[in-house]
Every structure is written in C-alpha cells, then in structure tokens.
Amino acid sequence: MKTENKKAFWLVFTGCVLFVCFVALTIFIVTSVNDKSDPPTEGGNFEILAFNNQFEALDGPNYPHNAQKLLDRIAENNTENPNQIIAVAFNGQTYLESAEILAIKDMLDIDTEYLFTLDYNDKGYVNFLFIDKNIE
C-alpha cells in the first residue's frame, strides 16, 4: 500500500470512528433525558424526602447534644404539623406531645451514646423515633 493510500485509509477510518462515537453519545444523551420522570408534585417523593431529611441526618448512633437537636425538630414539627405527628419512644414510654418530647432532653445522660432509630408510616413519612442506649 502506498503512503498516500495509508493516509487516506486512516483519515477515513478515524472519521468513521468519530462519527460512530458522536452518534452513540447523541443516543445516550437523548435516552437519558427521556428516561427522567416528571418533576415531583405535591404529595410526591420530593415532599416526603424534604420532610424526612430533617430527621434522617441524625439517624444512628449519637450523643445527647445531637439528640437535643433532633428532639427540638420533632417537637417543632408536632406543633406546626399536627397531621404528621412523630412519636418518640424512650425508657419504655411513648411521647407524643411537644412538651413531653422536649422534656426527654433532660432525661438523657450526657456521657452516654444513644442509638436513634426512625420508623416510617405506610406513605413513607417518618412517624416514630426510638431512642435506646447504644450497646455494642
């Protein structure tokens, strides 16, 4: 094969490869855009995620200063949002009222690590917090 023919071959070959890559990328972009669902509407996943997020950040092992933040959020929620009450279980009792939930902060031992476990209702919203001493 002559040098000119080799250059022409590689030029055509490179052009074909670039064209195929361009087409594949275009198809990928178009299908990924079309696969996205409609933006969430009221009562959709976004609302549930936004509601749960304020509580889930402190889910798991924590010390009392974090428990106080979480209990403040729950008490505030229960006052402002009576349709989404979050119950709190601590020391064998269940608390629903905001004042009772805030009183739990004084019952926590400063030097103890606690395990916070959230539970969810059938719609996916946080509706229960269990506070137990973390025993590992």
- pLDDT tens digits, residue range 79-95? 998 989 999 999 899 99
Please indicate, yes or no, if residue 39 is contained in any of the structural domains: no
Contact 132, 112 (CB under 8 A): no
What is the number of structural domains in the chain? 2
Hey, what are 95's tokens?
Answer: 């608390």
With H, G, I as helix, E, B as strand and everything else as coil, classify residue 85.
coil
Contacts of 52 (CB under 8 A, 6+ apart): 118, 120, 124, 125, 126
More confident residue, 42 or 67: 67
Q: What is the pLDDT of residue 86?
A: 94
Q: Helices (DSSP H) in the chain: which residue ranges?
A: 3-35, 45-56, 64-80, 98-107
pLDDT in tens, 18-61: 777 777 767 767 666 554 444 444 455 888 888 888 888 777 77
Q: Are residues 21 and 58 in the same domain?
A: no
Q: Are residues 78 and 15 in the same domain?
A: no
Please indicate, yes or no, if residue 123 is contained in any of the structural domains: yes
Please indicate, yes or no, if residue 79 is contained in any of the structural domains: yes
Query: Could you tell me what percent of the chain has a pLDDT over 90?
Result: 30
Q: Are residues 66 and 118 in the same domain?
A: yes
Please indicate, yes or no, if residue 121 is contained in any of the structural domains: yes
Does 97 have pLDDT greater than 90? yes
Four-CA torsion 134, 111, 90, 103, nearest 10 degrees: -160
Q: Are residues 58 and 114 in the same domain?
A: yes
Please indicate, yes or no, if residue 40 is contained in any of the structural domains: no
Full domain range(s) for residue 10: 1-31
Averaged pLDDT score across all residues of the chain: 80
Please indicate, yes or no, if residue 41 is contained in any of the structural domains: no
Q: Are residues 128 and 83 in the same domain?
A: yes
Q: Are residues 27 and 50 in the same domain?
A: no
